[in-house]
Chains A and B, each alone.
Chain A
Amino acid sequence: MSQPTVVLDPTAGTTPSDRTRNHRPPSLVGVTVGLLDINKPRGDVFLDRVAERLGEQGATVLRYTKPTFTKPAPVDLRHEIATQCAAVIEALAD
């Protein structure tokens, strides 16, 4: 009797569960928005202007910078943003 052929999967073999984005507020008036600078050159100039424009629209803007664009932000920084902000913009990957 021949052995059954077993095919092994070289991939992770898992698919992430699909989640949906969080609820969005109707406007940014009175909303605290974090601007997370990924620490790539020129991104700060971009975010300076975004901060200005969001301020004009009534948002409160807080600024953050992660240590390097090549890695995810450290958990302490993510925690800080999450406790201080309701929304976040991360820029600028190129």
Chain B
Amino acid sequence: MHDIDDLERRGLAGVVVASEPFAEAAEAQARALGLDVARVFTPHPIQDRTDQEMQDLADDAVEALVSALTSA
């Protein structure tokens, strides 16, 4: 969140990806930073996933990521 906030200050379009249990933390951090940082959440957990499961999570997230970075 700090990184994307900083990169938005530097003129970039940014988005953060986290797993769902961190939605509340991200919201609190966004409030503290003063920027509603774009964020996309994946199902939890992450650490015990196989490669295929990680790729599926990525496939499921791509549309939301593109939408967070574009005005379309």
Residues of chain A whose beta carbon lies under 8 Å from any beta carbon of chain B? 15-28, 31, 33-34, 36, 40-43, 45-50, 53-54, 57, 66, 72-73, 78-79, 81-82, 85-94
Give the chain B neighbours of A40 by CB distance below 8 A.
46
Give the chain B neighbours of A82 by CB distance below 8 A.
7, 10-12
Give the chain A neighbours of B59 by CB distance below 8 A.
49, 53
Of the residues A28, A31, A94, contact of B46 by C-beta under 8 Å: A94
Best-surrounded residue of B3, B4, B16, B21 (most CB of chain A within 10 A): B3
Answer whether A93 and B34 are a contact pair too, CB < 8 Å, given A81-B12, A88-B4.
no
Q: Are B12 and A22 in contact (CB under 8 A)?
A: yes
Chain B: interface residue total (CB-CB under 8 A): 45
Answer whether A89 and B65 are a contact pair too, CB < 8 Å, given A28-B70, A82-B12.
yes
Of the residues A27, A45, A48, A81, contact of B7 by C-beta under 8 Å: A81
Answer whether A46 and B58 are a contact pair too, CB < 8 Å, given A88-B13, A93-B17.
yes
Q: With A and B bound together, what is the CA distance between A11 and B63 in angstroms?
A: 40
